[in-house]
Amino acid sequence: MAVSLAVVSADCVLLLNAGTPGAYSATVIDPRWATQEVVDAVLTADAMVCAAVFRSKNNSRTSQFYSTQAGLAHGGLLTNPAGPIAAVKFVVTGGTAPGSRPGIRWEASEIQYEIARSNRNYDPHYDTDGETIWHNGAAVAAASGGGTVSVDVLFPSFTQTSACQAPDEFRWIDTTGAMSILVSPEGENAGPASNWAQQFEDGLKAIMAGETPQRQEAAA
């Protein structure tokens, strides 16, 4: 499950004291803010939290952002990866040795040499240059006894939507991020804004370290 946009928005409205007194609602009545402004701030913070998750292999939630691009050619381009490659698989279909094999990072020049001498049995090798991938899939296919090879790459992808996507346990970090954006209208409340921003920064660092940040006290 992901963080609820409605819940975090209502939390922010309550912390800002910007809603109807005594009500727990995401609707803003204070003229210093707008309801959509709160929503946008929450989604902005949520995107940053998601990035902290999927750009670090230390976090156990990273895999929920993974997608696979299959059948990449030698010299093919990865399509909009949002973070580092998680895995490269050489999937052999048919032949005398079908199955999936893990790709091994190798020198691009050596890979080219292996393709040219594809009569030998090489391990699956790949290299990357930015978003371009080089691999010896042709050499692996030639040594597979008549099989075909699909080189599949696993990496994180992300597109901001109209809903939060951070895992449930990071609700408070979404809140601190949104509050750091919202709490200082018209240049007011510089102190509380700094407090919220520091909590948000600490939370992002903890997420990238594979931890679940804990709630701290902060001034509204």
- Kindly state whether residues 11 and 90 are assigned to the same domain: no
Instruction: Say how far apart CA 178 and CA 173 lie, in whole Å.
Output: 9
pTM score: 0.86
82 and 146 part of one domain: yes
176 and 132 co-located in one domain: no
Q: Is the pLDDT of residue 220 over 60?
A: no
Q: Is 220 a domain residue? A: no
Residue-range definition of the domain harbouring residue 43: 5-60+167-208
pLDDT band at 67 (very low <50, low <70, confident <90, very high): very high
Q: What is the total count of domains within the chain? A: 2
Give a yes or no: residue 218 inside a domain.
Answer: no
Q: How confident is the model at residue 199 (pLDDT cuts 50, 70, 90)?
A: very high
Residue 90 near residue 99 (C-beta atoms within 8 A): no
Q: Measure the N-to-C terminal CA separation of the chain; round to a whole number of Å.
A: 28
Whether residue 55 sits in one domain with residue 70: no
Measured distance CA(73)–CA(177) in Å, rounded: 41
Q: Are residues 53 and 96 in the same domain?
A: no
Residues 12 and 69 in one domain: no
Confidence of residue 217 (pLDDT cuts 50, 70, 90): low
State what percent of residues in the chain have pLDDT above 90.
81
Question: Both 79 and 67 in a single domain?
Answer: yes
The answer to whether residues 49 and 15 belong to one domain is yes
Angle at alpha carbon of residue 182, lines to 176 and 183, rounded to 5°:
80
Handedness of CA 86, 178, 174, 162 (dihedral sign): negative
Residue 195 lies inside a defined structural domain of this protein: yes
pLDDT score of 190: 63
Mean pLDDT in residue range 52-62: 88
Q: Is 112 helix (H, G, I), strand (E, B) or coil?
A: helix
